[in-house]
Chain A
Amino acid sequence: EVQLVESGGGLVKPGGSLRLSCAASGFSFSYHTMNWVRQAPGKGLEWVSSISTGSHYIYYADSVKGRFTISRDNAKNSLYLQMTSLSAEDTAVYYCARYGDADPFDIWGQGTMVTVSS
């Protein structure tokens, strides 16, 4: 079964850091670009970042550029998001999503909640 499972969310204070992980299974992880997408409570979806198969191409939304770092370990079938200088505006469910053949977000994880609050 093709599956993405996020972990690492939780409560963090403003200015703090957190590292999210996404474990992939059931497909050839190294062959796919991967994404992070977030959704603030009661709000819409926001694309956060993408990373190519070999990590050569990395992109960020302006809202997180300079604070978040996406990475991957193809040997461990894992995707990561290192988040620093967190603020309340970063409070959201964070989804990892696979870029399929032509569908940019064809497989989604169940999400992990990040809450930034003092």
Chain B
Amino acid sequence: QTVVTQEPSFSVSPGGTITLTCGLSSGSVSPNYYPSWYQQTPGQAPRTLIYSTNTRSSGVPDRFSGSILGSKAALTITGAQADDECEYYCVLYIGSGIWVFGGGTKLTVL
């Protein structure tokens, strides 16, 4: 069974830069997994930040960027703001029509 791994939690200072990662229980993430990143605030539906590794969704500030770092997909947030404090999810396409979400990273800005 494929498991997509994310850091359970992370903290960043206001104005700071942070990189969240998205890995596989076995193997390396590549663009062929079409990594996407979603932001979710409590009680709300998720919204897309990044898809296809590094394409920013419409209206998403350029403070958010996606990449492959080593063996993982990565979401980098620069100039962190208070309202960036929420949950971040990555999702990978593992083939045969199957998508797997990571467990999410709870980001704290303090």
Interface residues, chain A, with chain B CB atoms under 8 Å away: 35, 37, 44-47, 50, 57, 59, 61-62, 95, 100, 102-106, 108-111
Contact A44 B101 (CB under 8 A): yes
Which of B11-19, B20-28, B49-57, B72-80 lines the interface with chain A?
B49-57
CA distance A59 to B95 in the complex (A): 11
- B45 partner, pick from A47, A102, A111, beta carbons under 8 A: A111
Is there an interface contact between B97 and A105, defined as CB atoms closer than 8 Å?
no
How large, as a class, is the contact surface on chain B? 20 to 34
5 contacts between A and B (CB under 8 A): A45-B89, A59-B97, A100-B51, A103-B51, A106-B51
A102→B51 contact, CB < 8 A: yes
Which residue in chain A gives the minimum CB-CB distance to B52? Answer: A102
Q: Which residues of chain B from 56 to 102 have a CB within 8 Å of any chain A CB? A: 57, 87, 89, 91, 93, 96-102
The one of A44, A57, A61, A111 that contacts B102, using a Cβ cutoff of 8 Å:
A44
Report A-chain residues with C-beta under 8 Å of the C-beta of B101.
Answer: 37, 44-47
Question: With A47-B91, A109-B45 in contact, do A104 and B98 touch (Cβ < 8 Å)?
Answer: no
Q: How far is the CB of A113 from chain B (nearest CB, A)?
A: 12
Please give the residue numbers on chain B whose beta carbons come within 8 Å of chain A beta carbons, in ascending order: 1, 34, 36, 38, 40, 45-48, 51-52, 55, 57, 87, 89, 91, 93, 96-104
Measured between beta carbons, the chain A residues less than 8 angstroms from B96 are: 59
Residues of A within 8 A of B99 (CB): 35, 47, 50, 104
In the complex, are the beta carbons of B98 and A108 less than 8 A apart?
no
Q: Give the interface centre of A59, A103, A106 by most chain B CB atoms within 10 Å.
A: A103
Most chain A CB atoms below 10 A, which of B46, B52, B57: B46
